[in-house]
Chain A
């Protein structure tokens, strides 16, 4: 018996299942990469959850993966999805019958499909931010900016600015049931029983 307990404890800790009622999956595009966040509730992350990415239109499987210790999984936007212009359906299997999915709209990554690397290089930024001080030289450099350069800069800044909003959205999508739902549910139960009582009581009158 004394030997059994540590084994039990070890098995419990090693499998570490968070047996919640539902599992959340949330994905957003960050500079050409899709970031998938998986959790059971705000603090409990899904470690080693199986991710399957499908083409939302055709249902064809594009890639597989598992989440890391923070419940995160990143993958570059698949070429095929960019070409076909359909969204990505991200399926999460967290074990013990927990499964959920999230669809990334094609519009999200077709705009930001530029590569992730370009935190734009120094001189371009200076030129864009302060075109007057450099005189002709800077002006010529400004005009030398290509469309994709500008898009990269804007995309990088937008990603940074929108990060808190994405967090907010993520947290909202993971909010557990509130007082309204709980009280409402209890009200429903008593309401149904009231109806049942009404019908059952008639023959007794």
Chain B
């Protein structure tokens, strides 16, 4: 999902950077002092997550964990993902510096959308929450693939081929991330329910 330097046109790069800036601004506005540490831990998880590869046949793809960030952080997933991507590009040479805006938007927007759409499910107890968390993890990955393919639509490869390859290769990732998100959300709900935006009641509503 990390698009390399020099693939995209300046127009798309600029658009991605502008949209990421907006998302980050909203995320920072919604971020309050008590949740800073949660953001740090999840940003670190995202930063390390892409080192974990899932082998499938001759192909392999790495974890993204954007759904997990979305489910727990809501809009604050934007700044968290942006910081983690910056460090990945500076330290691991993944992606490139000019592409950060596009890459961050591609991964963060589906996560936030999933959070907003699935919040009614997530805030209900029991099986509904499990289903919601799984969908949040899996659909965020699918959405990130779709947006990445859309960013590549104006390159030689074209939208359909890129989308097909990205989607197929990320099927196992979607399954794994769905499970990871379910486990993390149900664990947090038992141990520290105040960390979960959707479970925090009117207090959480105000921030989300």
Interface positions, chain B 156-208, Cβ under 8 Å from A, are 156-157, 162, 164-166, 168-171
Interface pair A44/B60, CB less than 8 Å apart: yes
When distances are taken between beta carbons in the complex, the residues of chain B under 8 Å from A98 are: 3-4, 7
Hey, what's the 0/1 contact readout for B12-38 against A, CB within 8 Å counting as 1?
Answer: 000000000000000000001100110
Given contacts A188-B87, A193-B40, contact A97 B3 (CB under 8 A): yes
Q: Looking at the complex, which of B46-54, B109-117, B122-130 is the stretch in contact with chain A?
A: B46-54
A167 at the interface (CB under 8 A from B): no
Interface positions, chain A 163-205, Cβ under 8 Å from B, are 176-177, 181-182, 184-186, 188-190, 192-193, 196-197, 200-201, 204
B65 at the interface (CB under 8 A from A): no
B93 at the interface (CB under 8 A from A): yes
A4 at the interface (CB under 8 A from B): no
Interface pair A16/B57, CB less than 8 Å apart: yes
Given contacts A13-B57, A185-B91, contact A192 B168 (CB under 8 A): no
How far, in Å, is B188 (CB) from chain A's closest CB? 18
Interface pair A193/B92, CB less than 8 Å apart: no
A147 at the interface (CB under 8 A from B): no
Please list the residues of chain B having a beta carbon within 8 angstroms of any beta carbon in chain A: 1-8, 32-33, 36-37, 39-40, 43-44, 47-48, 50-51, 56-62, 83-84, 87-88, 91-95, 148, 151-152, 155-157, 162, 164-166, 168-171
When distances are taken between beta carbons in the complex, the residues of chain B under 8 Å from A145 are: none
How far, in Å, is A95 (CB) from chain B's closest CB? 6
Interface pair A204/B33, CB less than 8 Å apart: yes
Please list the residues of chain A having a beta carbon within 8 angstroms of any beta carbon in chain B: 8, 11-13, 15-23, 44, 93, 95-101, 176-177, 181-182, 184-186, 188-190, 192-193, 196-197, 200-201, 204
Given contacts A22-B2, A185-B91, contact A97 B151 (CB under 8 A): yes
Q: List 21 A-B contacts (CB under 8 A).
A: A12-B59, A12-B168, A12-B169, A12-B171, A19-B59, A19-B166, A19-B169, A19-B170, A21-B62, A44-B60, A93-B156, A96-B165, A97-B3, A97-B151, A101-B6, A185-B48, A185-B88, A185-B92, A190-B40, A192-B40, A197-B33
Interface pair B60/A189, CB less than 8 Å apart: no
A182 to B87 Cα, complex, angstroms? 10
A21 to B88 Cα, complex, angstroms? 10
When distances are taken between beta carbons in the complex, the residues of chain B under 8 Å from A13 are: 57-58
How far, in Å, is B44 (CB) from chain A's closest CB? 5
Other-chain residue from B5, B50, B83, B148 in contact with A21 (beta carbon distance below 8 A): B50
How far, in Å, is A23 (CB) from chain B's closest CB? 7
Interface pair B40/A189, CB less than 8 Å apart: yes
